[in-house]
Amino acid sequence: MTSSQQATAARVLLLCGPSGSGKSSFAAHSGLPALCLDDFYKEGDDPTLPRVPGTSDTDWDSPDSWDATTALAAIEELCRTGRTRVPVYDIARSARVGEETLDIARAPLFIAEGIFAADIVGRCRALGVLADALCLRGRPSTTFRRRLLRDLREGRKSTAFLLRRGWRLMRAERSIVARQSALGAYPCGKAEALERVAAATDHCREGASHALKAVGEAPAPQ
C-alpha cells in the first residue's frame, strides 16, 4: 500500500442484530456510507444452502446461507481504495440480479450491516480495519412485528414461510443476541449505538487527519 492509500484508508463499523432490529434504518440515518451485507446471500439454487431442521425450508438465518468470503473481500477493498463492486440481491427471488459500484469517496468510516456481520468481526479485526462492532437489540415482540410487516410489504417470501420464520426467530432472539455478542459485537439500543458511532467517527477522522499530515511531512523520494 502506498503512502497516499494509507492516508485515505477507511475503517468499518460492523452492525448486526436480529432480523427486524432496525439495522438498515439505523445505518441509513447515521450519515455514514453503508454496505448492505444481505446482498451477499447465496443464491437459491446453491446446493450448500442449509435447511431448517425437520422442514424443507431454507434456513436463511444460518451463516451457511451467506458468502462471508466475498463480503469480507468487499469490505477490505472499500477500506483500502474507497470503492468496490457489490452484488444486488433480490430476496424475493433468492437471486443476485445485478451488480453495482459502492463508492464511499474519502469517508474515513462506513457501516457494514446485516444479520451475519458478527461472523466477520474477528477477521476484520485481524485485517486491521475494524472500528467497532455493534449488535442492536430490543424487545422480541417489537422485532417480530417490524420484521413481519417489512417482509410482507416487500413480498420477500410466502406468508406461511414468514410466519414460521418469525415465530422461530422470536423464540430464539435472546440466544441470537448472545451469540453475536460472543463473536465480538457490543449489544446496545439505538441511543447508545449512536453514541458509539459518533465516537468511532471522531476517532477515524483524527486518524485520517494524522495520516495526511504524516504524508505531507514525509520527505520527497530521491
Q: What is the CATH number of the domain that holds 77?
A: 3.40.50.300
Residue range of the domain that includes 46: 3-215
pLDDT in tens, 64-121: 999 999 999 999 999 999 999 999 999 999 999 999 999 999 899 999 999 999 999 9
- Mean per-residue pLDDT, 123-148: 95
- Mean per-residue pLDDT, 129-142: 95
Domain count, the chain: 1
Q: Is residue 7 part of a domain?
A: yes
Closest-CA residue to 37 (of 185, 188, 206, 189): 185
pTM (2 d.p.): 0.87
For 120, other C-beta atoms within 10 Å of its C-beta total 28
- Scanning the chain, the segments in alpha helix (DSSP H) are 3-8, 23-29, 68-81, 121-127, 140-154, 159-182, 190-217
pLDDT in tens, 30-72: 999 999 999 999 999 999 999 999 999 999 999 999 999 999 9
User: What residues contact 175, with CB distance under 8 A and at least 6 apart?
Assistant: none
Q: Is residue 220 part of a domain?
A: no
Q: Is residue 29 part of a domain?
A: yes
Q: Is residue 167 part of a domain?
A: yes
Q: What's residue 12's pLDDT? A: 98
